[in-house]
Amino acid sequence: MSPTFRGRDYISTQDFSVRELQSFINISTELKRKFLLGEAHRLLQDKTIFLLFFDNSTRTRNSFEAGITQLGGHAHFISADTSQIAHGETPQDTGIILSRYGHGIAVRHDLEPYQGNKYIREIARHADVPVINMQCDIDHPCQTIADLMTIQERFGTNPKGLKMAVSWAYAPSYAKPLSVPQGLLMLMSRFGMDITLAHPPEYALMPEVMDTARQNAEEAGVKLDVTHDMDEAFEDADIVYPKSWGALSLFSKPEEALKLSKKYKNWVCNEKRMQMAKKDAVYMHCLPADRGNEVTDAVIDGPASIVYDEAENRLHTAKAIMALTM
């Protein structure tokens, strides 16, 4: 394992160079090979990671719990609602104490804009062990590194020149975080992909994140376009990634948020839109997808869909992040 990663926090892909991020993927690929061959890889024997959740989870929680077990360690699940955090315990105290109990802290805090990333970095400021962002309001670096790994498996290790469409899609459930589309824009441009972001006018991403993404695109010499037309984004795309996210100004107003989203029920990924993309284009989603709203069954269960490959790679990338930092 490279000593340059040991002890470092993994809070945003922006905190790492392109070369370092590729190292995470390379290790993920090797750990995936070992897992599929049944080869032991107990790289974190007897080490403990604390998984602190402010939101529900399936893939994130289980990829970390299964991952640390396969690495020879153990995970402790902590719900913010049933811990002393619910009574006001500070991130300073949480970070210091958990550092003395184990070897890593991972946090998911994604439902409050301008709160989650701030909270995670405050824990990291006081912790003496690596802190991993399992998803915040700004970035979902565990998801996007798995997405990048999946793209490289499908298109090759140099995805330069591919066009990726990151699009808002309708979902009637709740205002989902902005962190996945934001994380995609910040990461994929650095690896040479042209990106078109599509969303209704009310669903703009955080302006400071857009500034970072534009700077990344400029430095990489790629395009980052924004449109309010889903069809335009899908045109000639190699990768389509349509998913729902909330209107930034309405996270504290759930009834207004759901009312607004109903104006855009036609923002759905269906077979007609997939035909606008390239013939061999792939459909991606972080899951869970809102079937029948964000996407039709024909697309998510069809030959273009690689969502289960993405979900599988969440395990291997989580393991690489833990193995390299802890």
Buried b (16+ CB within 10 A) or exposed e, 190-226: bbbbbbbbbbbebbbbbeebbebbeebbeebebebeb
Within 13 Å of residue 268, how many CA atoms lie on the same side as its CB?
A: 20
pLDDT at position 174, please? 85
- Alpha carbon 186 to its chain centroid, in Å, reads 11
In sequence order, which residues have a C-beta less than 8 Å from that of residue 21 and are 6 or more positions away? 13, 145, 148, 187, 190
Confidence at residue 4, expressed as pLDDT on a 0 to 100 scale: 85
Give, in order, the Cα–Cα distances in Å from 193 to each of 23, 136, 207: 19, 24, 21
pLDDT in tens, the chain (326 residues): 444 899 999 999 999 999 999 999 999 999 999 999 999 999 999 999 999 999 999 999 999 999 999 999 999 999 999 999 999 999 999 999 999 999 999 999 999 999 999 999 999 999 999 999 999 999 999 999 999 999 999 999 999 999 999 999 999 988 999 999 999 999 999 999 999 999 999 999 999 999 999 999 999 999 999 999 999 999 999 999 999 999 999 999 989 999 999 999 999 999 999 999 999 999 999 999 999 999 999 999 999 999 999 999 999 999 999 999 99
All domains of the chain in start order, with CATH: 13-140+314-325 (3.40.50.1370), 142-310 (3.40.50.1370)
d(CA 145, CA 318): 9
| SS3 state of residue 198 | strand
d(CA 148, CA 166): 14
Distance of CA 154 to the CA centre of its chain: 18
